[in-house]
Amino acid sequence: MGLCFTKSQDIPISSSDSPPRPYHPKPSQPHHPAYPTRPAPVPQYSSPSLSRHPIPPSQIGPILRKPYVDITSIYVLDKELGRGQFGVTYLCTERSTGRKYACKSISRRKLPTDKDIDDVRREILILEHLSGQPNIVEFKGAYEDRQNLHLVMELCSGGELFDRIITKGVYSEREAAKICRQIVNVVHVCHFMGVMHRDLKPENFLLVSKAEDSPLKATDFGLSVFIEEGKVYRDIVGSAYYVAPEVLHRNYGKEIDVWSAGVILYILLCGSPPFWAENEKGIFDAILEGKLDLESAPWPTVSPSAKDLIRKMLTRDPRKRITAAQALEHPWMKEDGVASDRPISSAVLTRIKQFRAMNKMKKLALKVIS
The CATH 3.30.200.20 domain(s) of the chain lie at: 68-154
d(CA 255, CA 320): 10
Q: Report the pLDDT value the prediction gives residue 55, as an integer from 0 to 100.
A: 83
pLDDT (mean) for 39-66:
66
CA distance to 240, 284, 290, 357, 364, per residue, from 279 (Å): 9, 9, 17, 16, 8
Of the ranges 1-10, 16-25, 59-68, the best mean pLDDT one: 59-68
pTM of the model: 0.84
**In CATH, 68-154 is 3.30.70.330:** no
- The answer to whether the beta carbons of residues 155 and 206 sit under 8 Å apart is no
User: How much is the pLDDT for 17?
Assistant: 39
pLDDT value, residue 362: 66
d(CA 158, CA 57): 42
- Which residues sit in the known binding site for ATP? 104
Of 79, 112, 83, nearest in space to 93 by CA: 79
% of the chain with per-residue pLDDT over 90: 76
Query: Model confidence at 18, in pLDDT bands (50, 70, 90)?
Result: very low
DSSP 138: P
Q: 309 φ, ψ to 5°?
A: -65, -40
pLDDT given at position 54:
78
Phi-psi region of 211 (alpha: psi -120 to 50; beta: other; left: phi over 0): beta
pLDDT reported for residue 333: 97
The partner residues of 106 in beta bridges, in order of sequence, read 87, 149
Catalytic status, residue 118:
no
Q: Quick one: 159-367 is in which CATH superfamily?
A: Transferase(Phosphotransferase) domain 1 (1.10.510.10)
Tell me the per-residue pLDDT of 104-160, one tens digit each, with 9 for 90 and over.
999 999 999 999 999 999 999 999 999 999 999 999 999 999 999 999 999 999 999
Q: What residues does CATH 1.10.510.10 cover in the chain?
A: 159-367
116, 199, 220, 308: the catalytic one is: 199
Q: Please return the burial class of 169, using the count of CB atoms within 10 Å of its CB with bins 0-12, 13-18 and 19+.
A: exposed
At 35, which amino acid appears?
Answer: Y
C-alpha distances (whole Å) from 73 to each of 56, 94, 95, 148, 152 are 21, 9, 8, 15, 14
* pLDDT at residue 369 is higher than 90: no
Beta carbons within 10 angstroms of residue 98's beta carbon: 8
Amino acid at 281: K
Which residues is 83 bridged to in the sheet? 88
Is residue 145 within 8 Å of residue 69, measured between CB atoms? yes
pLDDT computed for residue 12 by the predictor: 53
Say if CB 39 and CB 121 are below 8 A apart.
Answer: yes
Sign, CA dihedral 203-206-211-213, equals negative
